[in-house]
Copies of this chain bind each other. A is one copy, B any other.
Amino acid sequence: MTDSVVVFSGGMDSTVLMADILGKGKNVQALSFDYGSRHNDRELLCAATFCQEHKIEHRIVKLPFINELFSSSLLKSGKDVPDGSYMEENMKSTVVPFRNGIMLSIAAGFAESIGAGEVLLASHSGDHFIYPDCRPEFNEAFSRAVFMGTGEQVSIRFPFANMDKRDIGDLGRELGIDFTTTWTCYKGGEIHCGTCGACDERKYALRYDEGFDPTNYAI
A61 touches B (CB below 8 Å): yes
Task: Type the 1/0 row for A132-170, where 1 means its CB is closer than 8 Å to any CB of B.
Answer: 110101100110111011111010000000000000000
Decide yes or no: A102 and B109 within 8 Å by CB, A59-B69, A148-B135 being known contacts: yes
A104 to B104, CA, bound (A): 12
A108 touches B (CB below 8 Å): yes
> What count of chain A residues pass the 8 Å CB interface test?
40
- Pick the most buried of A66, A96, A145: most chain B CB atoms within 10 A of its CB: A145
- Interface positions of A from 37 to 62, Cβ below 8 Å from B: 59, 61-62
Q: Flag if B61 contacts A98 (CB, 8 Å).
A: no
A99 touches B (CB below 8 Å): yes
A71 to B71, CA, bound (A): 32
Chain B residue nearest to A133 (CB atoms) is B149
Decide yes or no: A109 and B135 within 8 Å by CB, A141-B145, A142-B149, A145-B145 being known contacts: no
A181 touches B (CB below 8 Å): no
Q: Flag if B65 contacts A150 (CB, 8 Å).
A: no
A189 touches B (CB below 8 Å): no
A98 to B145, CA, bound (A): 10
Task: Type the 1/0 row for A91-116, where 1 means its CB is closer than 8 Å to any CB of B.
Answer: 00000111111101110111011000
Q: Flag if B99 contacts A109 (CB, 8 Å).
A: yes
Q: Flag if B105 contacts A146 (CB, 8 Å).
A: no
Q: Flag if B70 contacts A109 (CB, 8 Å).
A: yes
Q: Which of B62, B70, B149, B151 meets A65, CB within 8 Å?
A: B62
Q: Flag if B69 contacts A110 (CB, 8 Å).
A: yes
Interface residues of A (CB under 8 A from B): 59, 61-62, 65-66, 69-72, 96-102, 104-106, 108-110, 112-113, 132-133, 135, 137-138, 141-142, 144-146, 148-152, 154
20 contacts between A and B (CB under 8 A): A61-B65, A65-B106, A69-B110, A72-B113, A97-B108, A97-B110, A97-B112, A98-B146, A98-B150, A98-B154, A99-B109, A101-B108, A101-B109, A101-B146, A132-B150, A132-B151, A141-B144, A142-B145, A144-B145, A145-B145
